[in-house]
Amino acid sequence: MERNKNKTALTSVGIDHSTNRLIDKLCKRYNLKKGEIVKLAFEYMEKACINPSEPPESVKAELAKVNKRQDDLIRFVRHFEEEQLNPMIRATHSISVRFDGVVKALETFILSQLEKNQEKNNAVLQKISDQFGKYADIINNQGKQINTLYQLHQRDNKKLLDLIMLYAELAACGVMDGKRKENLKAEIYKLINPE
């Protein structure tokens, strides 16, 4: 039963001798059997929608059709280029030129503003520096005055300590130390009244 399914019923077609010679020539050229070449020819005509009853046009006529279609296509492309592409390119170029102008103007404006701000910042920093310089001078002068006062205070403290020490010695001297008392009084007088 399987064998019957795979078998194809073959039919015969009557052709004249010149057609038979043409088929033989094609079979030989393409190394095909007669049934295969007939089958492939009919499949080709079916796919290409070729009507075998219409006579084929000449190669010259076909080339003329191709050239006409090519010319039509070139005209379409040129028309599209003139109507659509060139105006778009001009508009894009115009926008680009304006954009460049705006960017350059903006750059100039920003740079001038930066320079002005830099000058203002430099002026403010200079004023701050001058003020700090004045304050530093004042602080240095006050430091010198404090140092001078400290040295005076140290000298006065030393005098005071010496004076206390002399009074203590004077108080410790007895009745018999008259000369010593006189010397201590003279030293106390010198400490109190420097020349």
pLDDT tens by residue, 23-59: 999 999 999 998 889 889 889 888 877 787 877 677 6
The whole-number pLDDT of residue 165 equals 83
From residue 188, alpha-carbon distances to 154, 155, 177, 179, 180 in Å are: 18, 16, 16, 14, 12
Task: Determine contact, residues 32/40, Cβ cutoff 8 Å.
Answer: yes
Task: Give the C-alpha separation, 61 to 49, whole Å.
Answer: 19
Task: Give the integer Cα–Cα distance in Å for 108 and 116.
Answer: 12
Is 170 exposed, middle or buried (CB count within 10 Å of its CB: 0-12, 13-18, 19+)? middle
**What integer is the mean pLDDT of 72-90?**
87
| Tens-digit pLDDT profile for residues 105-115 | 999 999 999 99
Q: Could you tell me the CA-to-CA distances from 162 to 72, 110, 156, 166 in Å, in that order?
A: 128, 76, 10, 6
**How much of the chain is helix, strand and coil, in % rounded to 5?**
85, 0, 15
- For the chain, domain boundaries: 15-54, 153-192
Q: Write down the pLDDT at residue 107.
A: 92
> Could you read off the pLDDT of 143-172 as tens digits, one per residue?
899 999 999 889 888 888 887 887 777 777
- What pLDDT shows up at residue 175? 58
Question: C-alpha distances in angstroms, 184 versus 161, 162, 169, 176, 195?
Answer: 14, 11, 8, 14, 18
Average pLDDT score, the chain: 84
Question: Using 50, 70 and 90 to split pLDDT, how confident is the model at 1?
Answer: very low
- The set of residues, in sequence order, having a beta carbon less than 8 Å from that of 166 and lying 6+ positions away, is 184, 187, 188, 191
Q: What is the pLDDT of residue 15?
A: 87
Q: What is the residue whose two structure tokens read 């007939």?
A: 38
